[in-house]
Amino acid sequence: METQAFLVQQIVNALFLGSIYALIALGYTMVYGIIQLINFAHGEMFTAGSFIGLIVLGALQRMGFVESHFVLSMFVVFAMAMAYVAFLGVAIEHVAYKPLRRASRLSALLSALGMSIFLSNGMMLSQGVSDRAYPPVLGTGGIHVLGARITYGQIFIVAFAVALMVGLNLFVKKTKLGKAMRATAQNRRMAGLLGINIDKTIRTTFVIGPALGAAAGVMVGMYYGSVRFDMGFIPGIKAFAAAVLGGIGNITGAMVGGMLIGMVEVLWAAFLPSEWKDVTAFIVLILVLYFRPTGILGERVIEERV
Amino acid sequence: MMRKLCVFAICLGLVFGLHTLAAAKTLKIGTLSPLTGPYAQDGTDILQGVKTAVALVEAAGGIPGFDKIEVLPGDSACDGGKATMAANKHINSGVHAVVGAYCSSATIPASVPLNEAKIIQITPASTHEDVTERGFKYLFRACPRDDAQAAAMVSFLENALKIKTLALIDDKQTYTVGLTKNIRHLVENHGKIKIVAHEHIAPGDKDFTAVLTKLKKIDPDAIYMSTYQPEGSLMARQAKALGLRAHLLSEDAVYHPKYIEVAGKAAEGSFLTFAKAPDTPERRNFEAEYKKMWGVKKIGSYAYYAFDAANIILGAVKIAKSTDPDKLEQVIRSTTWKGATGTIKFDHKGDRGASYIIWVVKNGEFVPYWNPQTGQYF
Amino acid sequence: MVRREIQRFCIYTLFLTILVLPMVGMRGPEFEARRAFTVLSVLVGVLLLTTVFRLLRETSFYRNLGQRIRQRRDRALGKIQVLPRPVALGSLFFLLALFPFAANNYVIDVAITVLIYVTLGLGLNVVVGLAGLLDLGYIAFYAVGAYTYSLLNLHYGIPFWFALPFGVVIGSLCGCIIGYPTLKMRGDYLAIVTLGFGEIIRLVLNNWDNLTKGPNGLLGMDKPKLILPSFSDGGLSWTVVPLKSLPSLYFVILAVALLTVIAVHRLNNSRIGRAWIAIREDETAAELTGIPTTLLKLLAYALGAVFAAVAGAFFAAKLSYTNPNFFVFLESCVVLSIVVLGGMGSIPGIILGALALIAIPELFRELASYRMLAFGGAMTVMMVLKPEGFIPATRRKRELHEEELESEEAADE
């Protein structure tokens, strides 16, 4: 393999991993922006989405629907997974976070942690302890660019991720509900006084954030080919780091942060001793935050009490 | 405030007190294995293997002198602190023997109180040398050791596959690092094969393309994946997707039906070390019963070892006609056991002999391929 | 009222149906109706009970009953309070000292673990509860303590008690190193940076094979020893007794935990403690009143780390074994849960929190794989029911009640 091809291939690897992190990070950052809560259970939403995707995809494949209507069945798989996890998100918000909206932030954080443990063990009990194989739908075909191999699966997933991110940005900037969300994020009380339904806005956030996480879960399942009950934990932590790195509460920041973490991890492992890649990712995180204490794109200094 | 604390503490004390009262005339076997967390699959296999052994013995009339055989599950996670607590709990519940633990990092600390309490312990899964190198009298190992497994693989690479270059990948855990260390040691001593890369991944990661692309550039003849099954499956898939030509090699933690299920076609042609058990009536009997009892189609590899470990304990109690640990230890050490994983004869350290052979994945099945003891293909 | 409850019940049931049926029922290709509907009916049953309970709560009968129970309880508890404080504390101490003679090894082992976590919880309380700095990587200091003792003992044969001061110094140095870059950060940025530091320390221990033997862990450290007088061969001589048995180790960790309780209690009421609380409440204002915030924040990290390092050294000595995978992120979360669940800043609260999080799951070992499910669920339920913890610190409780009206503003910031 030539050096140029090697480099291009590694950059493709990094972009792909980065876009997965970015997509998960969006869910963290949205929830944080609105209610200043680190939603520890977000990694589990990602896993839940992956499982539902597997269930729906398996059912469709047994009916022979995937071969005949590929695009439609992909749409159904993603839609079902996202809808299910949106329900889950709303339910969790109602049960575990809403009663704590006025309590100390740490109490809410702990409640989220409890939910995370509960969901991950619940999925372990209901879906089994071992990893489950995803039906191979993406195939192994691909194209060669500058000597690097890019599979159609990768292209499909990155395109879909970018579409989701652009769609989200438009939603938040242009629609009425999106504007309400931004207003709530800025000043909840003022937004309430201006006639914005705060409860509804927060609920919307808990529909969109988890749904994006679910989409990422289905993508990861399809691309890597397996799902397991605890697979949300490590990407969850990395995506959380990405969200903070980009400036938590900032949607563009989450994308930048996700890409950066993906880049650091892949490029370090590509050229230097690979066992130190996670250490490096965290050191980069700390250095960035040392020089820019509110993240790369974060502006507001959020003052709060623990 | 102090009041609440006192009331709570007293209640807790009472419950704990009552908790340890219950005792009856039964033969008790404790298990230690991870029932929660990332290794819960193997941990559950171990528990089920022990329960299958007990069910078979009870169906055959049980053990004279005991009305009942009870299996007490213990969740050791993969954590030394939790494992010793679980071990101490077993000691207090009066277990006569323990099957477990799974991770070497749990077995090592848990064996200390068990050995002091003179309770027979047979680990079905911890392959690290340190487990038995400490010379514990009551500790046995029903699975072969890391160094034996590495030797089988290296012999295969040098004499059968005859490769020139080898790359190692491990995920920096006790078990996986033990294997790569042993392989590196043997290969470098023999000097026939060159190790061209030694990479590491993190357990729980899903994307290994960075490391695999690096290996593609180096282009070794073979890649030794020292990981657990979930990572192994993903790595095989990604290696094939990147178009690596190297042979994929791996070990017994990857030898699980799930490896082929998840990796699919990418698993074809990979070579794995795993104990070869002759197709004995014991094995067929176990497989039939296990599948019936737990409603599964394929059996995880540690279930076999756990089944044998439990059978050795039950058999020893039967022969010794007592649960005296010194007598049991004598019987276990001096008897040649026939089990689902072949014949087992423990040496002075408590290790069984190695019976590793090389398996190949062919048409979605593990098939015996080469025997390091004889140097013959199957 | 009734109508609203029924409406609520119906909506919740609908949600449960949607959430439970596919996840529980579709494990394989076929829908396992029995499994799915069993789980669903159990959950709906619980829901029904809470709905009935909520309805009953509104009735006058329940209100009277509740009042009577509360009166009874207050009267019963009042009798305990009659004991003067020193007597109460003295008898508590007496009970703790006698405990190992009445208990079996398993219970003592659980008690040792609880005491280790009490020490950890109180140490983290200095950082989180008093100084108000969120720390998600606290377990790293525990690891530093464990590894410092292990390495000193294995390489230089330094006994436990002499290794402790080294552990303390190295632990507090690490605290400062971690504290320094985080001084400028606040709240959740602090959370991820401390989490990152925790992971870095664990990974360094795992990767630095030459020093720490990496994932193999270190094996064979000595237990703590005591020098005791003996009168056996006529006349006084001194013998070195290694503390091998669990009861003797219990006394060591009991002493450590008691010292920690005393230290944290004294800190709580000292000038430093009050300065920390001032920083927690409003850093800018605290700085303006002349409190050296930088120094005090570093001190909080360093002191918090010291307690963890001592607990870590004890843990390594007790097991004679240490391994990097004992110090994962989840452990940090457990310690944080002890502090928050028990009640931040409250010493009895944290002791109760450690009992609840370490001892109670031990009782439910029979639940096996359901244990962690219950643990997570209980954590959320506890937080929702008692957001300020089991036993909130008196000072904090006062604040919370004053804040009742202001809390809305606080949430808006």
Token pair, residue C400, equals 């919370």
Find the residue in C nearest to B91 (Cα): C106
Return the closest-CA partner of residue A112 out of C194, C340, C365, C186.
C340
Q: What is the pLDDT of residues B243-262, one digit of tens each?
A: 899 999 999 889 888 899 99
Q: Does B244 touch chain A (CB under 8 A)?
A: no
For residue B68, pLDDT beyond 90: no
Residues 45-104 of C with CB under 8 A from A: none
Three-state secondary-structure class, residue C364? coil
Cβ distance B241 to A151 less than 8 Å, yes or no, reads: yes
Judge whether A116 and A40 are in contact, CB under 8 Å: yes
Which segments within C271-346 are labelled E, that is strand? 321-322
Q: Quick one: average pLDDT of B302-327?
A: 91
What is the C-alpha separation between A102 and A108, in angstroms, rounded?
9
C271 phi and psi angles, rounded to 5 deg: -60, -45
B170 reaches C (C-beta below 8 A): no
- Taking each helix axis from N to C end, the angle separating B104-116 and B80-92, rounded to the nearest 10 degrees, works out to 30
In sequence order, which residues have a C-beta less than 8 Å from that of residue A173 and are 6 or more positions away?
Answer: A179
Digitized pLDDT (tens) for each residue of chain A, 306 residues in all: 678 888 998 998 999 999 999 999 998 888 888 888 888 899 999 999 999 999 999 999 888 888 888 889 999 999 999 999 999 999 999 999 999 888 888 888 889 999 999 999 999 889 888 888 888 887 777 888 887 888 888 888 888 888 988 899 899 889 998 888 888 888 888 888 888 888 999 999 999 999 999 999 999 999 898 999 988 888 888 998 899 888 887 888 888 999 999 999 999 998 888 889 889 989 998 888 888 888 888 765 444 433
Residue C406: its chain A contacts at CB < 8 A? none
Query: What confidence tier does B23 reach under pLDDT thresholds 50, 70, 90?
Result: very low
**Mean pLDDT in residue range B33-49:** 87
Q: In angstroms, rounded to a whole number, what is the distance separating the alpha carbons of residues B177 and B169?
A: 9
Give the highest mean pLDDT range of B181-185, B295-299, C190-194.
B181-185
pLDDT at C188 over 90: no
Q: CATH assignment of B147-277+356-377? A: 3.40.50.2300
Sort out which chain C residues have CB atoms less than 8 A from A253's CB and list them.
none
In the predicted structure, residue C108 carries a pLDDT above the cut 50 = yes
Choose the closest CB to B85 out of C92, C206, C362: C362
Compute the nearest-CA separation of C103 from chain A (Å): 32
- A275 vs C207, C333, C377: nearest CB: C207
At B115, is the secondary structure helix, strand, or coil?
Answer: helix
Torsions phi, psi for B26 (to 5 deg): -135, 160
For residues C76-90, give the mean pLDDT. 71
Residue in chain A nearest B238 by alpha carbon: A224
pLDDT in tens, B103-149: 888 898 899 889 988 999 999 988 888 888 888 999 999 988 888 88
**C104 interfaces chain B, CB cutoff of 8 Å:** yes
Q: Does C287 touch chain A (CB under 8 A)?
A: no
Alpha carbons A60 and A69: distance in angstroms, whole number: 10
Question: How do residues C360-379 score in pLDDT, each as one tens digit?
Answer: 888 776 666 787 888 889 88
pTM given for the model: 0.87
- Which chain B residues are within 8 Å of A16, Cβ to Cβ? 207, 209
Whole-number pLDDT of residue B15: 61
pLDDT of residue C408: 42
- C215/B75 touch (CB, cutoff 8 Å), yes or no: no
C-alpha closest to that of C383 among A44, A198, A120, A101:
A101
Cα-trace Rg, chain C: 25
**What average pLDDT score do residues C46-74 get?**
82
Distance from CA of C324 to the nearest CA of B (A): 9
When pLDDT is cut at 50, 70 and 90, the band that residue C82 belongs to is low
> Residue A143 region, left (φ>0) first, then alpha (ψ -120 to 50), else beta?
beta
C238 token code pair: 């001194």
Q: Does the CB of B5 have a partner CB in chain C at under 8 Å?
A: yes
Could you give the angle at which helices C347-354 and C105-125 cross, rounded to 10 degrees? 140
Q: Which of A221, A231, A248, A306 is nearest to A43 (CA)?
A: A231
Question: For residue C258, which amino acid is it?
Answer: L
Q: Could you tell me which residue, A301 or C154, shows the higher pLDDT?
A: C154
φ, ψ of residue C218 in degrees (nearest 5): -105, 140
Residue A21 contacts B where some CB pair is shorter than 8 Å: no
- Nearest CB neighbour to C184, from listed A52, A241, A293: A293
The mean predicted confidence, pLDDT, of chain B is 87
Run of H or E residues at C69: helix C60-81
The confidence band for C80, taking pLDDT boundaries of 50, 70 and 90, is: low
Which run of H or E residues covers position C142? helix C139-156
Residue found by looking up tokens 């090699």 in the block: B249
pLDDT at C366: 67
Q: Work out the number of other CB atoms within 10 angstroms of the CB of residue A8.
A: 18
Looking at beta carbons, which residues of chain C come within 8 Å of A114?
375-383
For residue B9, which residues of chain C lie inside 8 Å, CB to CB? 355
Residue of C193, C375, C383 lying closest to A110 (CB–CB): C383
CATH number of B26-143+279-344: 3.40.50.2300
- Residue B5 pLDDT exceeds 70: no
Asked if C326's CB is within 8 angstroms of B75's CB, the reply is no
Instruction: For residue A144, give how far its alpha carbon lies from the nearest alpha carbon of chain B (Å).
Output: 11
- Give yes or no for residue C36 having a pLDDT over 60: yes
Which among B118, B38, C18, B271 is positioned nearest to A83, based on CA atoms? C18
B86/C346 CB distance under 8 A: no
Would an 8 Å CB–CB cutoff place A140 in contact with chain B?
yes
Query: pLDDT tier at B18 (50, 70, 90 boundaries)?
Result: low
Give residue A104's pLDDT. Answer: 81
Classify residue C359 as exposed, middle or buried by CB count within 10 Å of its CB (0-12, 13-18, 19+): buried
* Cα dihedral C126, C130, C134, C140 in deg (nearest 10): 0
**What pLDDT is stored for residue C413 in this prediction?**
38
Residue C197: its chain A contacts at CB < 8 A?
A: 282, 286
Q: Which residues pair with B26 in a beta bridge?
A: none
Report which residue type is found at A158: V
**Number of CB pairs < 8 Å for A and B?**
97
Interchain contact, A130 vs B41, CB within 8 Å: yes
Instruction: Work out whether the CA dihedral C2, C3, C4, C8 comes out positive or negative.
Output: positive
Q: What is the mean pLDDT of residues C44-59?
A: 86
Q: What is the overall mean pLDDT for chain C?
A: 84
- Asked if the C-beta of C87 comes within 8 angstroms of chain B's C-beta atoms, the answer is no
Q: Which of residues 272-301 of A touch B (CB under 8 A)?
A: 273-275, 277-278
pLDDT of C351: 92
Alpha carbon distance, N-terminus to C-terminus of chain A = 52
pLDDT confidence of residue C83:
65
Euclidean distance between CA atoms A224 and A219, whole angstroms: 8
Q: How far apart are the C-alpha atoms of C336 and C125, rounded to whole Å?
A: 8
Q: What ipTM goes with this model? A: 0.87
Q: What is the pLDDT of residue C232?
A: 66
pLDDT given at position C371 = 77
User: Residue C43: its chain A contacts at CB < 8 A?
Assistant: none
Instruction: Determine the pLDDT at residue C109.
Output: 86
Among A128-142, B228-242, C63-77, C80-94, the range of highest mean pLDDT: B228-242
Tens digit of pLDDT for each residue in C247-278?
888 999 999 999 999 999 999 889 999 999 88
Interface test with B, best of A1, A4, A279 (most B CBs within 10 A): A1
Residues of B in contact with A280 (CB under 8 A): none
Mark yes or no for CB contact B41/A149 under 8 Å. Answer: no
Contact yes or no for B177 and C360 at CB 8 A: no
**Which of C312, A218, C324 has the alpha carbon at shortest distance from B172?**
C324
Residue B146 touches partner C, C-beta closer than 8 Å: no
Do domains B26-143+279-344 and B147-277+356-377 share one topology? The answer is: yes
Distance from CA of B187 to the nearest CA of C (A): 20
Torsions phi, psi for B27 (to 5 deg): -85, 125
Kindly list the partner chains of chain C, i.e. chains with 3 or more CB atom pairs below 8 Å: A, B
pLDDT at C217: 84
Q: Say if the Cβ atoms of B210 and A140 lie within 8 Å.
A: no
**Distance between CA C326 and CA C311 in Å, rounded?**
14
Query: C405-408 contacts: CB < 8 A, separation 24 or more?
Result: C407/A102, C408/A102, C408/A189
Where residue B163 falls among pLDDT bands split at 50, 70, 90? very high
Q: Is C176 left (phi over 0), alpha (psi -120 to 50) or beta?
A: alpha
| Burial (Cβ within 10 Å: 0-12, 13-18, ≥19) of residue B134 | middle
Nearest to B85 among C113, C349, C363 (CB): C113
Tell me which chains share at least 3 CB pairs under 8 Å with chain A.
B, C
Q: Are A304 and A254 a contacting pair, CB within 8 Å?
A: no
Q: Would you state the pLDDT for residue A78?
A: 94
Q: Which residues of chain C neighbour A126 with C-beta distances below 8 Å?
A: 23-24, 27, 39
Contact A244 C189 (CB under 8 A): yes
User: Are C148 and C167 a contacting pair, CB within 8 Å?
Assistant: yes
User: E-strand spans in chain B?
Assistant: 27-32, 69-72, 97-100, 120-123, 139-141, 165-170, 194-200, 222-226, 247-250, 271-275, 337-339, 342-344, 356-362, 365-371, 376-377
Q: Where are the domains of chain B?
A: 26-143+279-344, 147-277+356-377
CB contact under 8 A, B213 and A267: no
C203–A276 C-beta distance less than 8 A: yes
Instruction: Give the model's confidence band at C229: pLDDT under 50 very low, under 70 low, under 90 confident, else very high.
Output: confident
Give one DSSP letter per residue of B321-363, joined into a string: TS--HHHHHHHHHHSPEEETTEEE-B-TTSPBPP-EEEEEEET
Q: In this complex, do B4 and C390 lie within 8 Å of one another by their Cβ atoms? A: yes
Give me the mean pLDDT over the B223-227 stretch: 94
What is the residue whose two structure tokens read 């194209």? A143
